[in-house]
A and B are shown apart, each in its own frame.
Chain A
Amino acid sequence: MSDVLIVLIPGGETPSRSELAALGFGLKAAGLVGGACDALLLGPNASSAAAGVAEHGARTVLVGDHADLAKPTGEAHAAAIGAVAKSGGYRLVAGPATTAMRDCLPRVAARLKAPMASDVLALGECDGSKIGITKPSFSGNLLADVDLVGPAAVATCRASSFDPPAATGAAAPIKAAELPATLAHARKKFVEMNRTPLERPELTEADTVVSGGRGTRGAEGFKLLEELADVLGAAVGASRAVVDAGWMPNDFQVGQTGKVIAPKLYIGCGLSGAIQHLAGMRNSKTIVAINKDANAPIFEVADYGLVADLFEAVPALTAAVKKHRG
């Protein structure tokens, strides 16, 4: 009982940076507890993504493709993961802190009667009886050192806190996971998914993010931010106030209860920097703040602060970057 199972629900045919980062977390944990790390890939992209995962250091890649995972629910994911976890007797079962994993892993923990850590930022001391982790708490205001005590544990990890493992040059064997005949819950049905059309890079994968707050005053103001994002090849993000107002879709929200990101460059325009927003972006490598209020809390975390009206500053910055790039 010292092996680690990393669960991925691949979003595409090749694993993304954050999916591989979760595998990186698993390999690190396996090293600390003295076992090997297997990967369990679930869903329609599992087979195609398996080869990309197999090159990165897992012992075995298990592919769980099943009719009930074509339009999956958290209950179906939990049933699949629970079955593999039980038969493999894993010490730790974990996945990235995506909404899909947050929607199933606590059920797995309850099935296994195991403690769970959410949104792990770092691994600490581990031994036969406990797994030590560090996670955010109090709106990302504090870090908590937490011990998961017992023979098995469950976790979600914050992918931006871990590095994707390098390709090893060898490929792990790929096997079909043994799943129960029925995964679906008798009283739960997937109805539909309305995807936000994505014209720019995905927030959690982008090196640069241009983010806007209520100071943009609406969709028109956001256009200026999108123009800057387009010259930078950046993703666009938003504060909760913007999403509540309906100016941007919900999954553009950055913060404690939105996306947690750590790009190389974060440019926050017309947002105050409430603690719940900072919780989602304060690990960005370089933070730029453009706000007309010199006392806005966002300046406390900004590497470069510009006290200015965004309606003038953002187009000027777009022009300056364009000129620099020729």
Chain B
Amino acid sequence: MKIIATIKRTPQRDTRMKLTPEGGLVTDQLQYEVNPFDELAVEEGLRLREKHGGEVIAVTVGPAGLSEQLQTALAMGADRALRVDTDQPLDPLQTATALAAAVRKESPDLVLMGKLAIDAENGQVPLMLAELLDWPHASFASKIEVDPAAKIARVTCEVDGGLETVEVGLPAVITTDLRLNEPRYASLPGILKAKKKPSDVMPLAEVADLPEQGLKVAAYHTLPPRQAGEIVESVEELAARLIAKNLV
């Protein structure tokens, strides 16, 4: 099986972001990592390869700095990397269009993607990609079973109200949720090997029909602070407060 796992780089997961007075992001001190949901996608790709054979290609869209996150995927065990090269910030539909070009070039059996990037919190690119390719998709996967001969994946999805199971014919796009797996750490030999693995670059100019940017972030704000709370000394005091406020 040929599997693509897509990657975005996001600020380290518990970073408290700082803002400029104009509402821009302060990025010079930021430490980046592979978006946690994309790490699950890479891990799942590796597990499917271990079971069914084939190769895992880590794919991203963005500037050369992203090579670091591609190296992480290669060090985890991905076979090679592909980056659609651009310095300009792309919106979700543009990103999906660029990824679609990379996917068409590789024609994999499966594209695994994080269900959400923890920075922009849009959760749009995977389904936009599926639509652009006219492929089926499965979202929020907590279990993926593939039958490569029948070209089918059976996917358990974490949805409101419980767990839904769907079947998608391959090729398909599947997005990963938290309980799908536990991503492995890159080992030292893995890190050394990663440096020798092939890493291709595709210029953004090769992407046909890139739409105009439709989503633009004008400014960021911090959240309105919550009023300082009160530490109560006992359960009786807590109950009294809640009763006084008519909350219980």
CB-defined contacts of A67 to chain B, threshold 8 Å? none
Inside 8 A of B238's CB, which chain A residues have their CB? 288, 304, 306, 317
Tell whether, in the assembled complex, residue B167 and residue A282 are in contact, meaning their CB atoms are under 8 Å apart: no
Contacts of B232 in A (CB 8 A): 304-306
Which residue in B119, B214, B221 is a CB contact (below 8 Å) of A145?
Answer: B221
The answer, among A103, A110, A113, A142, for a CB contact under 8 Å with B19, is A142
B127 at the interface (CB under 8 A from A): yes
Contact residues, B166-210 vs A (CB, 8 A): 166-169, 172, 177-179
The reply on A38 being an interface residue by CB < 8 A is no
In whole angstroms, what is the CA distance A74 to B127 when docked? 9
CB contacts (< 8 Å) of A110 on chain B: these are: 93, 96, 127-128, 131-132
A298 to chain B minimum Cβ distance, whole angstroms, is 10
Q: Which of chain A's residues has its CB closest to B134's CB?
A: A185
Q: How many residues of B contact A (CB 8 A)?
A: 83
Which chain A residues lie closer than 8 Å to B223 at the CB level? 140-143, 282
The answer on a CB contact under 8 Å between B136 and A301 is: no
B contact residues around A74 at 8 Å (CB): 127, 137, 139
B222: Cβ under 8 A from any A Cβ = yes
B212 at the interface (CB under 8 A from A): yes
Residue of B nearest to A11 (CB): B161
Are A115 and B214 within 8 A (Cβ)? yes
B229's partner among A191, A244, A304 (CB-CB below 8 A) is A304
Which residues of chain A in 108-144 are interfacial with respect to chain B, using CB atoms and an 8 Å cutoff? 109-111, 113-119, 132, 134-144
**Interface check A308, CB cutoff 8 A:** yes
CA distance A194 to B162 in the complex (A): 6
Q: How far is the CA of A52 from the CA of B157 in the complex (A)?
A: 30
**Is A179 positioned at the interface, with any CB of B under 8 Å from its CB?**
no
A205 to chain B: closest CB distance in Å? 11
Which among B9-17, B46-54, B69-77, B102-110 touches the partner chain?
Answer: B9-17
Query: Contact between A106 and B123 (Cβ–Cβ < 8 Å)?
Result: yes
Contact digits for A233-263, partner B, Cβ 8 Å, 1 yes 0 no: 0000000100110000111000011010000
* Contacts of A312-326 to chain B: CB distance below 8 A: 313, 316-317, 320-321, 324-325
Q: B62 within 8 Å of A by Cβ?
A: no
A305–B234 Cα distance when bound, in Å, is 10
**Among A116, A147, A243, which residue has its beta carbon within 8 angstroms of that of B218?**
A147
What is the bound-complex CA distance between A8 and B210, given in angstroms? Answer: 31
Is the pair A107, B130 in contact by a Cβ cutoff of 8 Å? yes
Chain A residues positioned under 8 Å from B161 (CB to CB): 11, 193, 195-196, 251
Check if B226 sits within 8 Å of A111, measured CB to CB: no
User: Does B142 sit at the interface, judged by CB under 8 A?
Assistant: yes
B64 contacts chain A at the CB level, 8 A cutoff: no
List the one stretch of A39-47, A94-102, A167-175, A212-220 in contact with chain B. A94-102
Instruction: Name the residue of chain B whose CB is nearest to the CB of A118.
Output: B122
Given the known inter-chain contacts A74-B139, A189-B166, please indicate yes or no for A98 contacting B160, CB distance below 8 A. yes
A189 with B96: in contact, given A111-B131, A257-B178 (CB under 8 Å)?
A: no
- Chain B residues within 8 Å of A, Cβ to Cβ: 11, 13-17, 19, 23, 91-93, 96, 115-116, 118-128, 130-132, 135-140, 142, 154, 157-169, 172, 177-179, 211-223, 226-227, 229-232, 234-236, 238-239, 241-243, 245, 247-248
A-B CB contact pairs (8 Å), 9 listed: A75-B137, A143-B220, A149-B214, A188-B172, A195-B161, A250-B142, A265-B248, A287-B226, A321-B239
Q: A189-B166, A257-B115 are in contact. List 5 more A-B contacts (CB 8 A).
A: A99-B159, A118-B121, A137-B121, A188-B136, A195-B161
List residues of A whose CB falls within 8 A of some B CB: 11, 73-75, 78, 98-100, 102-107, 109-111, 113-119, 132, 134-150, 153, 185-196, 208, 232, 240, 243-244, 249-251, 256-257, 259, 264-265, 274-276, 282, 286-288, 294, 299-308, 313, 316-317, 320-321, 324-325
